A and B are shown apart, each in its own frame.
Chain A
Amino acid sequence: MSVQSEPPNYISKKFANLLRRVGESHSKLEEDRLLKNEVEKLKNSLQKTNISKKQLNEYLIRSLFCGLLGHDVSFCFIHSANISQDENVFFKSIGYLVSSTLYDKNSEFMLLMVNTISKDLLSTNHLTLGLALTAITKLIPQDTISAVLPQVEKLLDHEEIFIRRKAISAMFTFLLKSPSIVSSLLPKFKKVLCDQDPSVMGASLPIFYELAKRDPVSQKELIPSFVSILKQIVEGKLSTQYDYHHIHAPWIQIKLLKILSILGKDDQKSSSEMYNIVFEALKKAEGAFSTGSRVAYAVNYECILTITKIYPEPTLLQSAASITRHFLTNQSKNLRYLGVKALTELVKVYPESAIQNQVTILELLEDSDDSLKQKAFQLLYRITTAANVSLVTTKMLHYLQIQTNTTYKSELAAQITQLAEKFAPDTEWFIKTINSVFEICGDLVKRETAHNLMKLIAEIGDDDDEDDDNENSESHLKKFAVDVYLNLLMSKASLPDILYQTIVWIVGEYSYLNEQYSTADILTAICELIENPLIQRETRNMGVTAMTKIVGQTKEYPEDVQEIVEKYSNSQDIELQQRCLELRALVENQDLLDDVLPPDSSCEDLEVDPDLSFLDTIVSAALKSGAKPYVPLENRLKLMGKTPPKEKALRFEAYQLSTPKLANSAITSKTGKSTSIYDTELLERPETFSTTQSADVSLGIKVTGKQKWGPSGYTGKAQTDNQEKPQNQYTPTLPETPQQPQQPQQSQQTEPQKTPNSKSKSKSKPKTKRMSKKEKEAAALVGGFVSSTKKNIVSKLGGNSPKTKRNEISTPKNEKKSLYSQENENLYQYESPKQNLYQYGNQNQNQNQNQNQNQNQNLYGNQKKDSFLIDLDLQLNTQTNQDSSKKQKPKSLYTANLMDSIEPQQQPSRSILDSTQNFLTPTIPTQEKTEQIGSDRHLRITFTKEQTEEEIVVTITVANTSSSTLQQVVVTLPPPDSLKKTTTTIPKASSMDHNQNPHFAQVLPQSSVSIIANLKIKKISRGKLFSSTFINGQVNYATESNANQYLAFKIPLDLADLTKPFEITTDLFAKHWATHNFEKTFSLMKVSNINSINQFTQLIINTLHVHLIQIIGSEAIMAAVIIGADSDSMIALIHAKFLQNPNSNSSVVSLTVRTKNRALTENFARFCQKFLKN
């Protein structure tokens, strides 16, 4: 480059001098000094009056110069706004330049500029018009678009080419800032696309690219246009002025290819229109390789990306693979970079390409350039499978260690944990891997990772208590985990907080499994950790709770712990203080401590009895002996004539600290919804939380310190055997997907501890007989991927639905299914019926051949389709359904009243039940089993339960087993909240008191009386579960000696008692499925005694009164209805699935319940989960 540039005549010598000096300054300090001087000078100069325009112009350029170097030159803004209104186009251009470069988008001068722009848009000077249009793209605020839009629209038809070009660019600005405002102009844009001048056409392409990105379907009609434009360009029909380095209009080609790849995505028909031209563009650009034209590579790279995005075509894929190979083996790193990126896309649709390039991939992983390396790791992440996961993660961990770029580091850490969660060969490996990640960059890891890890360890061995062999190996695993963490703790190394937290939790829970260290040593180590000033307060809190647990388990309470507890009992940190105080209180009451923190129970359900029914006996006894019944505060105050205090009174409890609550303070809410360690719901509602806490304290029951996972929260059983994934029964690929994860799993089970190298080697069998060491390693890295994905691709090429396919192999976000997300996954599938529908529709279009096959396999797919139609018809079916409620049993006087009052809120207009009622069979299976529920010296109480069409009939028999007559026998039988007693039948000789309590004058020796109570469902509330419902009754009586006695009893009642089969057809089931929106799914691994779907179904039928509708393959559908329900809201639809992994003993059962009522769904799901676990 020449150095003898002369400054133009409008640049003063002075300025030229400054530029030189700044350019030659040797330090930032010197530069800043020079510029500060200059800025001061400029400020003064600009304040002067009567400066010539030429001077002003120079001042502005000098200001811009200083502004670019980071100095505040806002004093020149007003001048630039002024000069942009000048009539001289040159000065105007300077004004626009300074404004558009230095103004902030909220600048107060913006309106001035908009004003100038709108005036300039009316100019007859082409240069002025051009300046104004350029300024629009840089300056126009969104709310002023409408002011200039009409004028810009006119300019789209301007005679001058460059004006038209700039006008369409301005339109693109509008589209970006306010899409709706230009929606009416779409026909105009299409006209511009057909502009005679390629330059104008080219400038319009970004608009169509943007529109296609937002709504591909709307732009599909333009595919022929884009194809024909691309064809003309590729064939060289444009002026040679557009050529660049032997390629015709390369950037326009690239843009067109980008548009096509969006429009052809997942659309075979559209894609087929493009195959030819993409191939032509590819070949043409390939032909220019020999000239060294880099832009040819750019076009080729874009072609490859397009080929991987549109519907796959074998020839194109092969060409793309061969060019990718060319890129990868090129000397130029830029090309190799493109090559890796291209390959990363290519392996998604053409996995063989990974094998072809495995050695190159390995080389790239060793490259000195981080850019290339990172891309290579990205690729590696894509092609990781269970077969190569250990090798890949080892490499990744190594790189993680030396990586300094935090953004990339956290990304890589996330990738490693994802891979580990997805493909872990065994738990031991998983624990080790995650620990390594924590150690290297714990501060960059998401907290869920630690949570998942703890959960995993906690659940080891919880699943199959009956299997002794397993039990041993699993307790070994737990011990392994404890040893690992104890060693870490004892090493006194400085570790990230997240790892400390994992350590203290695990050690707190399971330290008793270790044989290496004494309790005292462990506690001392925790004490030291707590005293470490560098740890987060959260870690400290968890430490205290861990100590509480250990103290509870071992009954040791050494001095150093006491000291810590004393010290922090006065901590300013309220949570820490509370935990210490709890520890202190619990130590004094060992029994309570055992109850509160039983060992190894973090995974067990915490049953909460919200009614405190265990106090009922005491309460009723107290009432009996004359105590006043409890009246809630409000009512009491009303009785006393006072108004209840307003809610916003003084709060006496401590305010919640702002920091998040911890793992160990999780409290299972009464709905049974699990609160996980990092439950955000809790965090977001500190008020609820603090009240719970204070309540605990006052009752002396400390709930903190132990986490209880609710059953619905954990998918549990599946997690230790992590490869198994429940299949999506909606996708049409059911038969082939299961094989994917199983293959690698088998290999791990047979040879779990072999070195990854040899393992993977045996898996991938490349054609070459002898491989170099490098090749071997490469094969190990890449090998497993192809074998596991090949099938998909083959079928994909064969014309399978691309949508579902792509979901399987692409998008890392979707792939984030961790070990723990099975439930969610299922949930997601059910919750998006539309999407599935859509898939189904697609599938129909795309694969007529496979249709029959799929219809058989895809139970729900069909039904979805039906339900879609039903949705529309639903409203026609408005006949009300009063009958069922009218034909009650003969009623006694008061039951009639009762019946009226309990008639559920009917929703007559939505009665889809009308049709289904007809299917109800009158015969209800009755169950009768006499069970004893209570006895004492005088009495024995037994009961039977029986179902009728509408009610559950409970017969309680009170037998006098003594030799004396019992007097004044009163049976109290208050039904639980969810049920209503409709009638109580008692022998004539006896009577009822006003509380409807059956009352017998006397019961003779060795005789018995029976009371029959008819119960009917009243309401189903969330959280009050049938599965845990009891009817708490009591018999009061007097013996001959006139001593008053009572005997309490409990009649267990579960959901099964309240359900009856609901007989419907598969079609009806499908209809219902769509309208029953509340859904719950869960999966369990290795449920004992279930080895087939038939057994599974049988178990459900035996336990719950359901009607089996159909078994199809490994899936079954069933339906049940709540007895006595007279609205359609009480139907429960059950879908069961059984998945057996043929290569191992593992199996997964999953169950989905759908009802119209959230509470009902929850009840069913919990009930099923419970009996399956037992």
Chain B
Amino acid sequence: MILFFLIVNKLGQTRLAQYYSEQFSQEHRIALENEVTRSCLARKETDCSFFEFRELKIIYRRYASLFFIAAVDDDENEMGIYELIHCLVEAYDKHFKNVCELDIMYNLDKAYMILDEMILNGVIVETNRANVLQNISKFDSFVK
């Protein structure tokens, strides 16, 4: 199961954080995010994308200035999550038309919404891109 999902930039600023487990209370999250990000930053490009951090398994992928980080329990297929991150990025890319960090900052609600279509309760629920993006744009028509 995925315990939390982060999008963090290389300065360590959290752009998106979604927690799926109640074991992380709000007050401890920032410190945890910082530590995890630092551990990711400390790794070399050639290093493998999976590592253990305390009791967590971290799977991360870097896209330009952004780190996409998933923390999972023992039960998860690392490569599956690694590819899921890419699947998510593809969905972002499709929706935002060539996604960049600012897109996610400006459209935080959409970034969350797309993630919510793919992962709920820490498990993968949908990876069919058409299904994922089916409703996202519909919301925009409600803002004038």
Contacts and interface: CB of A to CB of B under 8 A. Distances in A.
Interface of A: 1-3, 5, 7-11, 16, 19-20, 22-23, 25, 28, 31, 54, 61, 64-65, 68-70, 88-91, 93-94, 97, 101-102, 104-105, 126-127, 130, 134, 137, 161-162, 165-166, 169, 172-173, 176, 198-199, 202-203, 206, 239, 241-242, 244-245, 249-251, 254-255, 258, 294-295, 297-298, 301-302, 305, 332-334, 336-338, 341, 368-372, 374, 407-408
Contacts of A11: 106
Contact of B123 (A64, A172, A334): A172
A298 B83 contact: yes
B142 A294 contact: no
A293 B51 CA distance: 22
A199 B128 contact: yes
A90 B128 contact: no
Closest CB pairs A-B (n = 9): A333-B48, A298-B79, A1-B100, A70-B30, A90-B142, A298-B80, A206-B123, A371-B51, A295-B83
B13 A337 contact: no
Contacts of B13: 22-23, 31, 69
Contacts of B124: 251, 255
A88 B9 CA distance: 32
A19 B105 contact: yes
Nearest to A107: B26
B79 A338 contact: yes
Contact of A199 (B26, B116, B131): B131
B95 interface: no
A169 B82 contact: no
Given A3-B100, A5-B96, A242-B127, 14 more contacts: A1-B64, A2-B98, A5-B106, A8-B107, A64-B108, A70-B14, A88-B142, A102-B26, A162-B131, A203-B120, A244-B83, A295-B79, A334-B49, A374-B52
A1107 B103 CA distance: 86
Contacts, number: 193
A569 B18 CA distance: 59
Most A CB atoms within 10 A — which of B22, B49, B127? B127
Nearest to B99: A1
Contact of A130 (B46, B51, B100, B135): B135
A64 B16 CA distance: 10
A305 B80 CA distance: 13
Nearest to B79: A298
16 contacts: A19-B102, A68-B14, A69-B13, A70-B30, A90-B142, A93-B113, A97-B108, A104-B25, A172-B123, A250-B83, A258-B75, A301-B77, A301-B78, A337-B78, A369-B48, A370-B51
B106 A169 contact: no
Nearest to B123: A206
A18 B71 CA distance: 30
Most B CB atoms within 10 A — which of A64, A90, A102? A90
Interface in B29-88: 30, 44, 46-52, 54-55, 63-64, 75, 77-80, 82-84, 87
Contacts of A134: 116, 120
Given A5-B106, A64-B108, A251-B127, A298 B77 contact: yes
A169 B9 contact: no
A9 B143 contact: yes
A242 B128 contact: yes
B126 A199 contact: yes
Contact count band on B:
35 or more
B143 A162 contact: no
Interface in B90-144: 96, 98-103, 105-109, 112-113, 116, 120-121, 123-131, 134-135, 138-140, 142-143
B132 to A, nearest CB: 10
A176 to B, nearest CB: 7
A61 B121 contact: no
Given A105-B22, A127-B138, A1 B98 contact: yes
B120 A23 contact: no
Nearest to B29: A70
Given A93-B109, A105-B22, A371 B52 contact: yes
A1038 to B, nearest CB: 82
B75 to A, nearest CB: 8
A64 B110 CA distance: 13
A411 to B, nearest CB: 10
Most B CB atoms within 10 A — which of A22, A69, A198? A69
Contacts of B107: 8
B43 to A, nearest CB: 8
Nearest to B97: A2
A241 B128 contact: yes
A134 B109 CA distance: 14
A162 B134 contact: yes
Interface string B2-36: 00000001011111111000100110001000000
Nearest to A35: B13
Given A3-B100, A337-B50, A408-B52, A90 B79 contact: no
B98 A93 contact: no
A333 B84 contact: no
B48 A334 contact: yes
Nearest to A15: B106
Given A165-B126, A369-B47, A127 B135 contact: yes
A5 B102 contact: yes
Nearest to B18: A101
A728 B61 CA distance: 49
Contact of A5 (B100, B112, B128): B100
Contacts of B9: 23
A254 B77 contact: yes
A69 B143 contact: no
A169 B124 CA distance: 10
A339 B98 CA distance: 34
A368 B48 CA distance: 10
B79 A334 contact: yes
Nearest to B14: A68
B48 A372 contact: yes
B86 to A, nearest CB: 8
Nearest to B26: A104
A355 B100 CA distance: 48
B109 A294 contact: no
A89 B142 contact: yes
A336 B48 contact: yes
A68 B15 contact: yes
Contacts of B116: 134
A254 B80 contact: yes
Contacts of B143: 9-10, 54, 90
Contact of A245 (B51, B55, B83): B83
Nearest to B100: A1
Nearest to B46: A333
B19 to A, nearest CB: 9
Contacts of B87: 244
A866 to B, nearest CB: 41
Contact of A249 (B50, B84, B127): B127
Contact of A294 (B48, B75, B79): B79
A241 B36 CA distance: 34
A65 B99 CA distance: 19
A407 B99 CA distance: 37
B125 to A, nearest CB: 4
A65 B83 contact: no
A374 B64 CA distance: 28
Contacts of A165: 125-126, 131
A254 to B, nearest CB: 5
Contact of A169 (B54, B105, B121, B129): B121
Contacts of A169: 120-121, 125
Nearest to A203: B125
Contacts of B106: 5, 7-8, 11, 16, 19
A11 B108 CA distance: 11
Nearest to B90: A244
A61 B49 contact: no
B87 to A, nearest CB: 6
Contact of A241 (B84, B108, B112, B130): B130
A172 B119 CA distance: 12
